[in-house]
Amino acid sequence: MALYSEKVMDHFMNPRNVGIIENADGIGEVGNAKCGDIMKMYLKIDENIITDVKFETFGCASAIASSSMATELIKGKRVEDAMELTNKAVAEALDGLPDYKMHCSVLAEEAIQAALEDYRRKQEQS
């Protein structure tokens, strides 16, 4: 059996939504010291809808694929719906990840949560 599903390989080889959003409404950065993966998510939010989302990930195939899939899953969604995204949903959308790579989907969830939290803080200040 292959280590990675076709979807993981596709999102690794052709990641969606890579890059930076200038003047992002929310930015979240998380890392896993043990494996060295670092993820940064950028959100553009208009009237409570995530209109754009980009990421920069330094990490393995699973980390990049998880970031890519996570951005696809929240793009166009309401902030409340994006808050409910779980690492399990990310892994399932990728047709599964090896057990020892599940932490990559957790990082994607945490990066999105951090970006949404950053957005919420900025809203409270304005």
CA separation for the pair 126, 114 (Å, rounded):
19
The answer to whether 67 touches 75, Cβ cutoff 8 Å, is: no
**Secondary structure letter of residue 87 according to DSSP:** H
Question: Are the C-beta atoms of 21 and 104 separated by less than 8 Å?
Answer: no
Q: Which of 43, 104, 108, 111 is catalytic?
A: 104
Distance CA 125, CA 26 (A): 13
Query: Catalytic site residue 104?
Result: yes
Catalytic residue among 18, 27, 35, 83: 35
Residues assigned a catalytic role:
35, 104
